[in-house]
Amino acid sequence: MNQQHQNIVLLLSKAIISTFSSSEWTELGYLTNTDEYIQNHSRLLRSLAWGDDDYKGHAIDTISYIIDANPKNLQFIVDYEPIIRWFERNKNHDFEKLVNEIHGLEITETEPTTKNETVLEALADAQALLRTRGPVSAVDRIHTALHAYLKIVCQQIGITPDSNASANQLLKILIEKHPALQNLGPRSDEISRILRTSGAIIDAFGSIRNQSSRVHPNEDLLDKDEALFVMNIARSVLQFFDAKLPPTN
C-alpha cells in the first residue's frame, strides 16, 4: 500500500467509523460489489455491533480492500451520502481536494467585486457544494448568484425591475440600457450579439435550475459534464459583467 493510498483510506475512515451502522456497510457493499466480502468478514460487523476495540482496524482494512478491488470504488465511497454529510459537518480540506481530483473540479472561483452578501454567499455555497457534492448540487447556487447580481446592477442604474423578473429578462434590460454596454470596443456589434445570445442560454439555465437540479426534488438530474458546462457559462457571464461594469455595493 503506497502512501497516497494510505492517506486516502485513513481520511475516509474518519467519516466511516463515525457514522456507519451495519446498514451503511451493506449498502456500500452493494454499490461497490464487495457485499460478499463485507458480509463474510469474520469481525467487521460483529465488532461494530458489540463496540469492540478492534472495529477501527477492521474498518480501515475493509475500506482499503474496497478501493483495491476496483479503483472506481473510490468514487462510490466519496459520493456516498453519509460520508458527504459527515465531511460537510466536519470541514476538511483534504476531503475537498480528493473530491476535486476524482471529479476533475479544479475550477477557478468566481470572485466579483460586489460586496452584496446574497451574491457572495451564493458563490461561496456553490464552491463548497462543487467540492463536496459535485456540480449537480451547485447549479442552483450559481444561478442564484447570477440572478441576484443582475438585479443589483439594474438597481444601480436606477432601474427597478419587476420582483419576478428572470435572470434573462434582467440581462436584456442591461444590454439595452446600461451605458457601459453600449460601446464594447472595435467589434461592438459582434460582442453585443454574443451577449444577446447568452440571454437564451441564461433562460435555459433557469429551466435547468428548476427542473434538473437539486433545488427541487427532481428525478431527472443533469449529468456531471452538463452541470459543469452550464455553471461555467453562468460564471463567464458574471465575470464579464463584473469586469465591464462599475463595482456594485
Q: Which of 245, 215, 237, 246 is nearest to 147 (CA)?
A: 237
Tens digit of pLDDT at every position of the chain (249 positions): 578 889 899 999 999 999 999 999 999 999 999 999 999 999 999 999 999 999 999 999 999 999 999 988 998 999 899 998 898 888 787 887 787 677 655 444 556 677 778 888 888 887 777 766 777 778 888 888 888 888 888 888 888 888 888 888 888 888 888 888 888 888 888 888 888 888 888 888 777 766 666 655 556 667 777 878 888 888 888 888 888 877 766
Q: Which of 150, 159, 88, 165 is nearest to 119 (CA)?
A: 150
Torsion from C-alpha of 92, 11, 77, 39, nearest 10 degrees: -140
pTM over 0.75: no
Question: Domain residue spans in the chain?
Answer: 3-103, 117-244
The three cell numbers of residue 94 are 483534504
> What tens digit of pLDDT does each residue of 43-82 get?
999 999 999 999 999 999 999 999 999 988 998 999 899 9
The three cell numbers of residue 51 are 463496540
CATH code for residues 117-244: 1.20.120
The three cell numbers of residue 154 are 439594474
Work out the angle at residue 226's Cα, subtended by the Cα atoms of residues 220 and 230, and round it to the nearest 5 degrees.
Answer: 110
